[in-house]
Amino acid sequence: MDWDALYIAAKNPRIRPVSHDWFQVSPSLSSPAATEMNSQTLAAFSFFTEPKTMREAFDELAERLDASEDDFAAAFDGIVDAGLLIEVTRDAPDAPDPGGESDPRLMIATLADADRLRAFRAALAKHAPGKIVASLGCGCGVVAAMAAKAGARAVYAVEESGAIALAEQLADANGSADRMSFIHGASTEIELPDPAEVLVVEWPGPDPLRHHIRAILADARERLLAPGAHILPSRVDFVCTAVEASDLPPAETLAAAAGQLGLDAAPLLDAYESGGGMVSRVASGVNGDPLSKPVLLLSLDLAAGEDEAAENEVELEIVRGGRCGGFLVTVEAWLEGPAPLGAILYSSPRSMDVSVGDTLTVVAREAEGLQLSLAG
């Protein structure tokens, strides 16, 4: 572990409670390997949802954790070795945000998402043989390489970040370079040598709506695809569950903290509690069991080419009493079956007590990504 290197948490870790104060944490939703953390270490791990150096993390967290440098280093050496924290480069070409969605190391880390990749491989085995395949947003080329291995006649791999160079190296290493072409640029700004008969579209993170998937597919249908082209994935489902977890402290806590500083924070707290929709982030896990049954929130039909922005309202039935602080939305892509893409945690500063039999009405809207709010 390098104290001055930048690290970021794995994109979609799975967190399972094993006792009151201990958790098993895996680097991805499908990884069988797990590292045990107590609640304090788990809180420190969540500090790395944005790129931070170990020195920054220690300076920020040491007093709260009551840990020496040696204790901190020993704990986080194991977390780094387990692949839960990924070192990111400061000056990677074509990746201006270290640890951001275009960082090649985060793309490579998706190799651990075995369930997702197996689902893509099964779909490609059915649809790619003898066909021209276009892979839009191919990243470091894993799915594009699988298309070539599945017997595609030609594969056009399109990527606007510097990861396109890794995709070429991967093709060379797997003997597929003779059937693969690599196009550096945004899919809406490039041309393909031939219309694609199969389209594979990928995006960083779990939410395709954040990445203007409708506009990308509309452009592809108009310019890049053969009539009747098969689109993978054909559908994306968003499933919502009420949870106790929240990243946001209640307004009362913030008011007390401001008071200790001699400040009247009333104007800020009014905005804090009435700020419209909930705050969202890629989920790194939730505390405790779900409070409600899961409900299908939205289903995005990519194959049909829907043009209208998504909007829906659902009722969640509470099956366990507790204090609801937010909603976990899990995202699945449909290939030959469902494949997990990750989860998004929507947090609210206005948590509420709920009892068995209660219902909560959640409104979902598409606006630069999936936005959630409570009705009423």
CATH number at residue 188: 3.40.50.150
CB atoms within 10 A of CB 56: 16
Q: Do residues 248 and 219 both lie within one domain?
A: no
Q: Which of 82, 109, 136 is at the close of a domain?
A: 109
Residue 101's pLDDT band, with cuts at 50, 70 and 90, is low
Residue 129's pLDDT band, with cuts at 50, 70 and 90, is very high
pLDDT in tens, 361-375: 998 888 767 888 887
Between CA 151 and CA 127 the distance in angstroms is 9
CA proximity to 363, closest of 341, 346, 342: 346
Q: Which of 232, 265, 280 is at the close of a domain?
A: 232
Residue 218's contacts (CB-CB under 8 Å, 6 or more residues apart) are 305, 307
Least confident of 10-24, 178-192, 299-313: 10-24
Q: Do residues 295 and 318 both lie within one domain?
A: yes
**Beta strand 52-53 pairing with 132-136:** unpaired
CB atoms within 10 A of CB 219: 17
Q: Do residues 168 and 183 both lie within one domain?
A: yes
Q: Do residues 370 and 270 both lie within one domain?
A: yes
In a domain, 34, yes or no: yes
Amino acid identity of 69?
E
Q: Do residues 74 and 102 both lie within one domain?
A: yes
Place of tokens 């993978």: 232
Least confident of 22-36, 181-195, 252-266, 345-359: 22-36
Indicate whether 341 pLDDT > 50.
yes
pTM attached to this predicted model: 0.67
Percent of the chain at pLDDT > 70 equals 83
Q: Do residues 28 and 64 both lie within one domain?
A: yes
Between CA 139 and CA 110 the distance in angstroms is 10
Number of domains in the chain: 3
Can you list the positions of beta strands (E) in the chain? 6-9, 14-17, 22-26, 35-38, 52-53, 85-88, 132-136, 154-159, 180-184, 196-201, 225-232, 235-243, 279-282, 295-301, 311-317, 322-334, 338-354, 359-366, 370-374
Q: Do residues 127 and 228 both lie within one domain?
A: yes
| CATH code of 34's domain | 3.90.930.70
Which pairs count as long-range contacts for 213-219, CB under 8 Å and 24+ apart, including other chains? 213/300, 213/302, 214/306, 214/307, 215/188, 216/136, 216/187, 216/188, 217/302, 217/305, 218/305, 218/307, 219/187, 219/188
Range of the domain at 314: 236-374
**Residue 13 has which token pair?**
């870790």
Give the pLDDT of residue 91. Answer: 43
Q: Do residues 241 and 190 both lie within one domain?
A: no
Q: Which of 216, 232, 248 is at the close of a domain?
A: 232
In a domain, 55, yes or no: yes
Indicate whether 323 pLDDT > 50.
yes
Mean pLDDT for 98-123 is 73
Q: Do residues 266 and 167 both lie within one domain?
A: no
Q: Do residues 149 and 278 both lie within one domain?
A: no
Indicate whether 29 pLDDT > 60.
no
Indicate whether 95 pLDDT > 50.
no
CA 120, 121, 126, 128 dihedral sign is: positive
Mean pLDDT for 228-255 is 84
| CATH code of 359's domain | 2.70.160.11
In a domain, 364, yes or no: yes
CA proximity to 11, closest of 124, 139, 148, 134: 139
Q: Do residues 146 and 225 both lie within one domain?
A: yes
Which of residues 204 and 35 earns the better pLDDT score? Answer: 35
In a domain, 1, yes or no: no
Least confident of 86-90, 189-193, 195-199, 312-316: 86-90
Least confident of 16-25, 225-234, 280-289, 326-335: 280-289
Give the pLDDT of residue 93. Answer: 38
Give the pLDDT of residue 344. Answer: 85
Q: Do residues 15 and 103 both lie within one domain?
A: yes
